[in-house]
């Protein structure tokens, strides 16, 4: 039997492809298994997005928050529960020099820390 993880890896491979039949079959299976939520997240409900839309924009792991969703200083929960996963309340600080987000800032206490990966 194909594992949940194998399906998620496969979804990232077919994410941009035209074979929507395979993509939708895997999505249906992952919903059935309870890996993907049966009900839309708040953001999906608000903007009328499907799981296929979430997959396309955020990748197969859209249903999870990245690790590190706690402020290292005030310990605030930085997961954005108004939108649902994968959205975070962390504020990204972008460096033009290296063209990437290099630091995070807590919206509650303004503590700033280095982005590790």
Shortest spacing between CB 69 and Zn ion, in angstroms: 12
DSSP 80-98: -TTT-TT-B-PEEEEETTT
Instruction: For Zn ion, give the closer residue by CB, 19 or 114.
Output: 114
Instruction: For Zn ion, give the closer residue by CB, 52 or 76.
Output: 76
Show the tokens assigned to 29. 């299976």
Cβ atoms of residues 56 and 16 within 8 Å? yes
Shortest spacing between CB 88 and Zn ion, in angstroms: 13
d(CA 22, CA 28): 10
Cβ atoms of residues 46 and 69 within 8 Å? no
Instruction: For Zn ion, give the closer residue by CB, 32 or 111.
Output: 111
Nearest to 11 by CA among 25, 1, 31: 25
Shortest spacing between CB 78 and Zn ion, in angstroms: 8
Instruction: For Zn ion, give the closer residue by CB, 15 or 89.
Output: 89
Shortest spacing between CB 110 and Zn ion, in angstroms: 7
Which residues would be at the binding site for Zn ion (CB under 5 A)?
A: 71, 73-74, 76, 106, 108-109, 111
């Amino acid at each position: 039997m194909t594992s949940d993880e194998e399906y998620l890896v496969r979804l990232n491979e077919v994410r941009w492809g035209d074979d929507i039949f395979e993509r939708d079959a895997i999505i249906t299976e992952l919903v059935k298994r309870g890996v993907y939520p049966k009900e839309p997240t708040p953001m999906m409900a608000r903007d009328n997005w499907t799981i296929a839309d979430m997959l396309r924009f955020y990748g197969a792991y859209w249903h999870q928050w990245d690790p590190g969703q706690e402020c290292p200083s005030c310990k605030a929960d930085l997961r954005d529960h108004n939108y649902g996963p994968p959205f975070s309340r962390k504020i990204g600080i972008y460096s033009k020099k290296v063209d990437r987000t290099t630091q995070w800032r807590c919206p509650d206490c303004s503590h700033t820390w280095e982005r590790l990966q």
